[in-house]
Amino acid sequence: MSSSFTSKIIISKYFKVNDEYAPQTMSQKTTATTITATINENDATNDDIVNKEKLTITATITATNIEQKDELYALSKILIKRYVTFKPRGSQLDRETMDKQQDPFRGFFTLFWIAMAFYIIQTVMHNLEKGGTFVDLSFARLFSRDAFGLMLSDACMIAATFFDVVFQKIVSRGWIRWRYTEVGLGGDLSSLMIQLKSLRNEYNLLLGLNKKSDDDNVNNDVTHRLSNLHQKIEEIESCMKSPSGKVSYPDNLTFSNFFDYLLIPTLVYEFEYPRTVKIRPWYVFEKALATLGTFLLLYVNTETYIIPVIPSAAESFTKAFLGMSFPFMVNYLLIFYIIFECICNLFAEISCFADRNFYDDWWNSATFDEYARKWNKPVHHFLLRHVYQTSIDSYKLSKRDASFMTFFLSSLVHELVMIVVSKKIRMYLFALQMFQLPLIWMGNLPAMRRRRWLGNAFFWFGMFAGPPLLGILYCCEIALTPWIFLV
């Protein structure tokens, strides 16, 4: 005859977080639920710990044991919310896109480049009459002085980024636990991988116990628990693979996958991106030629209309400002076109990246926050996921505080670039970029919101005022104080 005995099972209690069930972490107080089960002794395996005198068995199920404050199951929900959507689409100023969509303003686009061609011809003729050369190369000699060192530094920087693959492999296998890996998709997925393994172990242990138990009440409790675990496992697994299921974590941690990510013109990593069917050699040639041609325009404008009018301390600030405002605005537009239309589309074509939405119609912006969202979509997506939403989800900041933190961090990084370039700490760019916050407040006033044309005019006035002011401050290294009496 088979005798029965009592088994006590310790199961971690789950609490409701954001309308979902998430495991209690080690940093919080843990309570336990005790379930009494009746199991036939003959069904006990050699792995069971059986006390022959008391005829009892104790099975302890260890739930997720992760030393962090955030609930990792809720993290899987956050990951889904933080995804940036990629889909096949063209860039708005691309010639093929404008023709395909029959853009009514494509004639102005053509007019702009014809005007730029005449602009170059006029400048070349002026240089021939004045100095006998097509283009003055003094500025080229200035910024090409350390060209070899720059290329070597860039090569070392790119090569160093491949260490990320090795580091993420180490983290994914649980060999190290570094708290800063929780920043970004890789850190989140490594934490979810640890939780997934723990949940699977718990599921398998409960499944074996359910088969051995003869108590219907216990079976119902365990079955309900198994159902919850199965749901959690499926949802976490869905966060760790691409929608098509072809790429999953940690199988994506390869050098080829990372190299592909470096080629794709986006700062946000995803398992899969929308792809084009093939590379079009003529399109690559067109964008490469457009890059060189636009850079020539940029160089001629800088050499002819900016460097000669850099003001001295004895010159009126108003005269310097007005003299540099239009050339700086032209440079700003040309730099935008080179980066987001030419270079980004060039790399997108080489990598077969189908989402060419690198910018929106920022020129129609009525507020500076709208401009910040539209003019540089790769950086906007990065800040949205890794700064703004992370500040809200992980640090429980309000939307207003998260917006301030995003602007603050972006301003610091931009100023860091200027510090490296100028080798001086001046904080001009940081101050002017942070000054956008009160401008955003002004742009959202009811009078501005009711009249978008007024907000757009206010935006363009700020764009005309900002770049030349920065140029005067950084290029001249002169404080505004001597100019107060010369305005």
The residues annotated with a catalytic role in the active site are 414
Cis peptide before 265 (omega within 30 of 0): no
> HSE on the CB side for 130, CA within 13 Å?
10
- Between vectors from CA 403 to CA 398 and to CA 406, what angle results, nearest 5°? 125
Instruction: Identify whether the C-beta of residue 56 lies closer than 8 Å to the C-beta of residue 34.
Output: no
What is d(CA 347, CA 327) in angstroms, rounded to the nearest whole number?
A: 29
3-state secondary structure of 213: strand
Instruction: Identify whether the C-beta of residue 53 lies closer than 8 Å to the C-beta of residue 4.
Output: no
What is d(CA 188, CA 192) in angstroms, rounded to the nearest whole number?
A: 6
DSSP conformation class of 85: P
| Residue position matching structure tokens 């989800």 | 393
- Between vectors from CA 145 to CA 142 and to CA 148, what angle results, nearest 5°? 145
Instruction: Identify whether the C-beta of residue 100 lies closer than 8 Å to the C-beta of residue 90.
Output: yes
Q: How many C-beta atoms surround the C-beta of residue 14 within 10 A?
A: 20
Nearest of 397, 364, 363, 362 to residue 380 by alpha carbon: 362
Q: E strand or H helix at 402, and its extent?
A: helix 399-422
List C-alpha distances in Å: 316 to 310, 329, 455, 482. Answer: 11, 20, 30, 9
What is d(CA 412, CA 414) in angstroms, rounded to the nearest whole number?
A: 5
Nearest of 433, 425, 421, 486 to residue 462 by alpha carbon: 433
Residue 264: phi and psi, rounded to 5, are -70, 130
Nearest of 118, 96, 111, 88 to residue 341 by alpha carbon: 96
Quote the tokens at residue 38.
Answer: 């009746």
User: DSSP of 192-212, one letter per residue?
Assistant: HHHHHHHHHHHHHHHHHHHHH
